[in-house]
Amino acid sequence: MRVVITGGTGFLGRRLARSLLDRGRLVDHEGKERAVETLLLFDKGPLAATPPDRRIETREGDIADSAALARLITPETDAVFHLAAVVSGEAEADTDLGYRVNLDGTRLLLEACRAAGNRPRVVFASSLAVYGGELPATVGEEVPLSPQSSYGTQKAIGELLVNDYSRKGYIDGRALRLPTVVVRPGRPNRAASTFASSIVREPLAGREAICPVKPETVMALSSPRRVVSALLRAHDLPASAFGANRSLQLPGFSVAVGEIAEAVRRAGGEEAYRRILWQPDPAIERIVSSWPQQLSAPRAAALGFAADGGIDEAIAAFIEDDLEAQKALS
């Protein structure tokens, strides 16, 4: 199979690539397992290092460049994981960039799939940011989309495009509404949610981190391990599992930010806990509090998607997968 990951050298893209190569197979549209022969990682430059594997090819380019996409998506392309995006804080600060990458890029990618003509499976990374405004205590797919950020708006439109291009038979698409993914290793990014990872990652690696929201702020989260396995699972399910609605709310666990800090204390002791500095930022609080706090995802549960056990499990996964490399970052 020829598989493309856009945003393939980003945080989730790299992990998805590793997991896909370890597994070595995907299910095709006839329900048969087939070997992954080529894995194309498409991202804007400069490209981060990729694992040495003869199946990997890297392509540097802009997701909003239709010529680059025409070279990337060919009649041989079987599967596309569309992860390239600018994150929430950046899309809010730079309206033109957000719409160009997150909306025009998605539309052009789907057009490239349509032009290639073999109806590839497309898995689109959407977000809880599609919901917003006056939300009920528990949010599920029955809640109307009312994004309160440019990023959420772009993801909501992306979902509709995936649905429509699937309905028309140009792709076999599925869009997953991902919870905020913790713990993200490396440096903070420009997502409004970046602190949820920073307040775990930095204190455990021996550095201070600012928490810009109140301890009682509740967030719906998922670990990278769960999200990567969900992306692969979503790919492998038959189109009939989704029916007419190609957007799927993934499950996540809910936790108050103060409880995340307590879990840091459990994992790293009093010293680590004291490295969390509480400095509320109303702009971040406003965005984060517009997102769902409790998720209901019965359709995903029935399709075999599961949430992590809780924040301690997500932190344990970070310690196992990433803490050593994190400590080595200067």
Ligand X SMILES: NC(=O)c1ccc[n+]([C@@H]2O[C@H](COP(=O)([O-])OP(=O)(O)OC[C@H]3O[C@@H](n4cnc5c(N)ncnc54)[C@H](O)[C@@H]3O)[C@@H](O)[C@H]2O)c1
Q: Whose CB is nearest to ligand X? A: 10
Q: Which of residues 122-141 bind ligand X (CB under 6 A)?
A: 125, 127
CA distances from 100 to 93, 200, 213 (A): 13, 32, 30
Q: Is 223 in the site for ligand X (CB under 6 A)?
A: no
Q: Is 13 in the site for ligand X (CB under 6 A)?
A: yes
Q: Is 12 in the site for ligand X (CB under 6 A)?
A: yes
Size of the site for ligand X (CB under 6 A): 23
Q: Is 87 in the site for ligand X (CB under 6 A)?
A: yes
> Bridge partners of 247?
175
Q: Which of residues 152-211 bind ligand X (CB under 6 A)?
A: 178, 180-181, 189
Q: Is 9 in the site for ligand X (CB under 6 A)?
A: yes
- CA nearest to 264, candidates 222, 323, 306, 321: 323
How many angstroms separate the CA atoms of 205 and 200, rounded? 9
Q: Which of residues 27-86 bind ligand X (CB under 6 A)?
A: 43-44, 62-64, 83-86
**29 contacts: CB under 8 Å, gap ≥ 6:** 119, 121, 172, 239
How many angstroms separate the CA atoms of 184 and 306, rounded? 19
Q: Considering the complex, what minimum distance in angstroms separates the CB of residue 28 from ligand X? A: 24
CA distances from 221 to 124, 181, 193, 292 (A): 18, 6, 10, 10
Report, as residue numbers or ranges, the catalytic residues: 151
Of 44 and 226, which CB lies nearer to ligand X in the complex structure?
44
CB distance 110 to 158 below 8 Å = no
- The total of other beta-carbon atoms located within 10 Å of residue 83's CB is 24
Of 100 and 119, which CB lies nearer to ligand X in the complex structure?
100
Stretch that binds ligand X, among 3-11, 141-149, 295-303, 308-316 (CB under 6 A): 3-11
Residues that bind ligand X (CB under 6 A): 7, 9-13, 43-44, 62-64, 83-87, 101, 125, 127, 178, 180-181, 189
